[in-house]
Amino acid sequence: MFMYHEVLETRTAYATASLTTTIIPPPGATGGVFMLRISAVAGTTPILDCKLQLAHPGSGQAIDVDNGAFAQQTAASFQAMFFYPTVGTADTTGNYRSCQGMVASKMFAAWTLDRTTGDETYTFTLEVDWHK
């Protein structure tokens, strides 16, 4: 059942090679639909990667969600990642993907943004529809 919509990260003409977005899911959330909209890229070799991670409850260390990476992007696009404990077989192709996992009390979106020539910039938004 839908709980609410949340904007997790939004950047305009972002020009840094990495970024970590801290995500604090609402109490009772069991999954969500994460949506990545890249509205503009510029530069010689723009390549954007984003993956979901869980925080280890004791150490806080980031642990990659199995199959929780969005498709690598080099242009404006929209992607959705369905993240639920009972997805079944993960879908890791195309712009609509799914991965299986439990919502942790703290999560991350880990970003890698190519800055090889130093002129690459990215405009993007990461949002989620939390479900219980």
Residues 64-84 pLDDT 10s = 999 999 999 999 999 999 999
DSSP 102: P
**CA-to-CA distance for 116 and 73, rounded, in angstroms?**
15
* Every domain of the chain and the residues it spans: 2-131
CA separation for the pair 14, 2 (Å, rounded):
31
Task: Characterize the bridge pairing of strands 96-100 and 77-84.
Answer: parallel
pLDDT tens-digit series, residues 14-55: 988 899 999 999 999 999 999 999 999 999 889 999 999 999
pTM exceeds 0.75 for this model = yes
Do 67 and 57 touch, CB atoms closer than 8 A? no
Q: If pLDDT is split at 50, 70 and 90, which confidence band does 118 have? A: confident
Q: Are 69 and 109 in contact (CB under 8 A)?
A: no
Fold of 2-131: Jelly Rolls (2.60.120)
Instruction: Give the full edge-to-edge strand order of the sheet including 48-55.
Output: 18-23, 107-113, 48-55, 62-69
- Tell me how far apart the alpha carbons of residues 75 and 79 are, in angstroms, rounded to a whole number: 12
